[in-house]
Amino acid sequence: MRVIVLGAGPAGMSCAYELDKLGHAVTVFDKDKQVGGLAKTIQHGPFRLDLGPHRFYALDPVVNRIWQEILGPDLRVVPRLTRIYYNRRFFFYPLRPFNALMNLGVWASLVAVGSYLYSKVAPFPREDTFEEWVSNRFGRQLYRRFFQSYTEKVWGIPCGEIAAEWASQRIQGLSLWKAVINACGGGTGLKTLVDAFTYPRLGTGMAYERIRDRLTKTGQTVALNHEVVTLYHAGNRITGIDVRAPDGTVSRQEADAYVASIPLTLLVQRLDPPAPPAVIAASQALRFRNTILVYIVVDRPDLFPDNWLYIHAPDVAMGRVTNFRNWSPDLYGDSAQTVLCVEYWCFAEDAIWQAPEAEMVGLATRELAQTGLCRPEDIVDGFIVRLPRTYPVYQVGYREHLDVLIAYLRGFANLQEIGRYGTYKYNNQDHSILMGYLAARNLAGEGHDLWEVNTDTVYYESGDAPSPGTANA
Ligand SMILES: Cc1cc2nc3c(=O)[nH]c(=O)nc-3n(C[C@H](O)[C@H](O)[C@H](O)COP(=O)(O)OP(=O)(O)OC[C@H]3O[C@@H](n4cnc5c(N)ncnc54)[C@H](O)[C@@H]3O)c2cc1C
């Protein structure tokens, strides 16, 4: 079978990897100049840098097997330290009771416990929103301190407008009680997860570069710098796609089956003949959040020990800071400098999305100084990467629009949608890889419903997970 895969991120590459094993002829198209999608690793001088923090963690044995096959001994275990910066203090994340108590103070801690108990006696009767869902499990005080400001930075809308589905997908199984028991040493799985994660020696993109190398070796095609501009259809089938090459020429490509990890909304809008007006309207109602990554090169080797920090403080706009020095020594070679990645989230229509590079580097420099993470005089370089459509926004009501698209797209017999953009799901790499793998298996006659992958996911901070060491076993 000839199969065209749209997008060379984790979903597309793992799909192509499995299709290759199954003996199909595969062509992958991606508009980017390198593989890996949001999980690629970029080169800057001597540094290899990811697009923000990208730890590897998977509950699914298939995903762990794929990582193991392609990375082998290059998949390393990295000690984990992540903290929350709030109110000029650092709180361990997941929370450790003594540290939280010391930082909050006795009075605020008692209020938090009281508020938690109150939420047990008088919970919100409905759990439609993120605010209600989290407050019912942690109490309003802890919700305000440890969930609200960060979540609103990520999503750009009040927590009262974010669908509870997002919370249940991402923090399912984690209760205050479990967190406290675990932090006091009573937990098993959670502790191991919190202490370490797996990560490729040369950055997360290494996994997808390895797949690209294998595909090239077996005679398959990975066409980078090739943007999919049109998808043609007739009856219930996709009949071909138009792809724009770097020199601007557009060519028609045909296959027996198509697997798409490009944004669901764009896919629907690029169909020829056009999708029905109600489907187009639904695609326009779904929103994505964008990310601006500001990379700051600091002329010091030891800034802080965390892999990344969550910045909950509402007086700064930055949301997360990654310190690549604490991931893998092979990311920075002999350099004695540190590269930090500072994340800002926004919508495409926000002014900050168009802000010049120097302005963003200046903002990150000021905010890093304000939080005491580094001194401006130690900063020797800075640059930005703009990432459109990084987070599908689970705004209350989004599901109705998504269902319209799903119902329409299910009508195409030879098209499957996979991935974070492709299914409008808040996927991590493991979920995207699993979707890609299952899409390939569907072409071998299996019957997986890809729209269901990740809906009942056990959140990877939860206690029942295997040790990250198992991926290296
Ligand atoms: C800041 C940040 C931190 C993250 N942290 C983690 C983490 O710690 N652990 C983890 O597992 N995951 C993490 N993730 C999520 C992870 O990056 C994604 O789950 C994963 O990359 C999704 O893979 P995908 O293949 O579904 O989509 P993508 O990686 O988005 O790939 C889609 C591909 O489609 C291509 N494309 C789009 N439009 C077209 C077109 N018209 N024509 C051709 N190609 C096109 C894009 O260029 C891209 O390469 C993080 C993501 C972000 C943004």
Shortest-distance atom of ligand 1 to CA 57: 11
For a substitution probing ligand 1, which of 35, 153, 261 has the most ligand atoms within 8 Å of its CB?
261
Domain stops at, among 354, 372, 392: 392
Residue range 101-116: average pLDDT? 86
What separation in Å is there between the alpha carbon of 39 and the centre of ligand 1? 6
Q: Where are the alpha helices (DSSP H) in 250-356?
A: 264-269, 277-285
Domain stops at, among 198, 220, 242: 198
Whether residue 255 is contained in a domain is answered as: yes
Residue 252, domain CATH? 3.50.50.60
> Is residue 175 located within the same domain as residue 218?
no
For a substitution probing ligand 1, which of 5, 33, 54 has the most ligand atoms within 8 Å of its CB?
54
Tell me which residues have their CB closer than 6 angstroms to ligand 1.
6-12, 29-32, 37-39, 51-55, 227-228, 261-263, 266, 291, 390, 419-421, 427-430, 432
Closest CA to 404 of 275, 232, 273: 275
> How is the beta sheet containing 89-92 ordered, strand by strand?
89-92, 82-86, 308-311, 320-323, 338-346, 288-298, 379-392
Mean pLDDT of the chain: 89
**3-state class (DSSP) for residue 152:** helix
CA distances to 140, 167, 169, 455 from 126, rounded to whole Å, are: 15, 14, 17, 20
Rounded Cα gap, residues 218 and 237, in angstroms: 28
Closest CA to 417 of 450, 440, 455: 450
Residue range 165-176: average pLDDT? 64
> Is residue 315 located within the same domain as residue 218?
no
> Is residue 174 located within the same domain as residue 264?
no
Q: Where are the alpha helices (DSSP H) in 205-340?
A: 205-217, 264-269, 277-285
**3-state class (DSSP) for residue 153:** helix
Question: Within 13 Å of residue 364, how many CA atoms lie on the same side as its CB?
Answer: 30
pLDDT band at residue 459 using 50, 70 and 90 as cut-offs: very low
CA distances to 76, 80, 316, 349 from 56, rounded to whole Å, are: 10, 12, 29, 32
What separation in Å is there between the alpha carbon of 315 and the centre of ligand 1? 29
> Is residue 351 located within the same domain as residue 433?
no
Shortest-distance atom of ligand 1 to CA 51: 1
> Is residue 325 located within the same domain as residue 383?
yes
The tokens of 220 are what?
A: 């398959």
Provide the pLDDT for residue 467: 26
Whether residue 302 is contained in a domain is answered as: yes
At residue 282, does pLDDT exceed 80?
yes
The tokens of 36 are what?
A: 């890996």
Whether residue 460 is contained in a domain is answered as: no
Rounded Cα gap, residues 57 and 82, in angstroms: 15
Residue range 287-302: average pLDDT? 96
DSSP string, 187-204: -SHHHHHHHEEEEETT-T
What separation in Å is there between the alpha carbon of 451 and the centre of ligand 1? 17
What separation in Å is there between the alpha carbon of 209 and the centre of ligand 1? 14
Query: Which residues, in sequence order, are CB contacts of 299 under 8 Å at separation 6+?
Result: 336, 337, 378, 379, 380
Whether residue 173 is contained in a domain is answered as: yes
What separation in Å is there between the alpha carbon of 288 and the centre of ligand 1? 13
The single residue listed with the structure tokens 């989290």 is 134
> Is residue 25 located within the same domain as residue 167?
no
What separation in Å is there between the alpha carbon of 9 and the centre of ligand 1? 6
> Is residue 261 located within the same domain as residue 402?
yes
Rounded Cα gap, residues 396 and 463, in angstroms: 29
Shortest-distance atom of ligand 1 to CA 229: 41
Whether residue 126 is contained in a domain is answered as: yes
> Is residue 323 located within the same domain as residue 356?
yes
What separation in Å is there between the alpha carbon of 37 and the centre of ligand 1? 4
Closest CA to ligand 1's atom 6: 54
- Least confident range from 80-89, 254-263, 268-277, 289-298: namely 80-89
The tokens of 452 are what?
A: 């269901």
Number of structural domains the chain divides into: 3
> Is residue 304 located within the same domain as residue 241?
no
Closest CA to ligand 1's atom 26: 419
pLDDT digits (tens, 9 = 90+) for 239-278: 999 999 999 999 999 999 999 999 999 999 999 999 999 9
For a substitution probing ligand 1, which of 14, 30, 38, 71 has the most ligand atoms within 8 Å of its CB?
38
Closest CA to ligand 1's atom 5: 54
The tokens of 124 are what?
A: 């919100």
How far from chain centre, in Å, is Cα 279? 26
Looking at the DSSP bridge assignments, the partners of residue 86 are 89
Query: Quick one: what percent of the chain has pLDDT higher than 70?
Result: 90
Work out the end-to-end distance of the chain between its first and last CA atoms, rounded to an integer number of angstroms.
35
What separation in Å is there between the alpha carbon of 186 and the centre of ligand 1? 36
Shortest-distance atom of ligand 1 to CA 35: 49
Question: Within 13 Å of residue 21, how many CA atoms lie on the same side as its CB?
Answer: 13
The single residue listed with the structure tokens 């979920």 is 431
Whether residue 464 is contained in a domain is answered as: no
pLDDT digits (tens, 9 = 90+) for 329-345: 999 989 999 999 999 99
Strands (E), 45-128: 47-50, 75-79, 82-86, 89-92
> Is residue 423 located within the same domain as residue 280?
yes
By CB neighbour count within 10 A (0-12 exposed, 13-18 middle, 19+ buried), where does 302 fall?
exposed
- Least confident range from 47-56, 193-202, 248-257, 416-425: namely 193-202
pLDDT digits (tens, 9 = 90+) for 320-378: 999 999 999 999 989 999 999 999 999 999 999 999 999 999 999 999 999 999 999 99
Query: Quick one: what percent of the chain has pLDDT higher than 90?
Result: 68
> Is residue 149 located within the same domain as residue 269?
no
For 421, phi then psi, to 5°, come to -70, -40
For a substitution probing ligand 1, which of 75, 153, 268, 428 has the most ligand atoms within 8 Å of its CB?
428
Closest CA to ligand 1's atom 39: 262
Q: Could you list the residue range(s) of the whole structural domain that residue 185 is in? A: 92-198
Closest CA to ligand 1's atom 23: 10
At residue 169, does pLDDT exceed 70?
no
For a substitution probing ligand 1, which of 385, 429, 454 has the most ligand atoms within 8 Å of its CB?
429
Domain stops at, among 156, 175, 198: 198
Whether residue 141 is contained in a domain is answered as: yes
What separation in Å is there between the alpha carbon of 439 and the centre of ligand 1? 17
Rounded Cα gap, residues 52 and 339, in angstroms: 11
Whether residue 459 is contained in a domain is answered as: no
> Is residue 150 located within the same domain as residue 297?
no
Residue 367, domain CATH? 3.90.660.20
Shortest-distance atom of ligand 1 to CA 52: 1
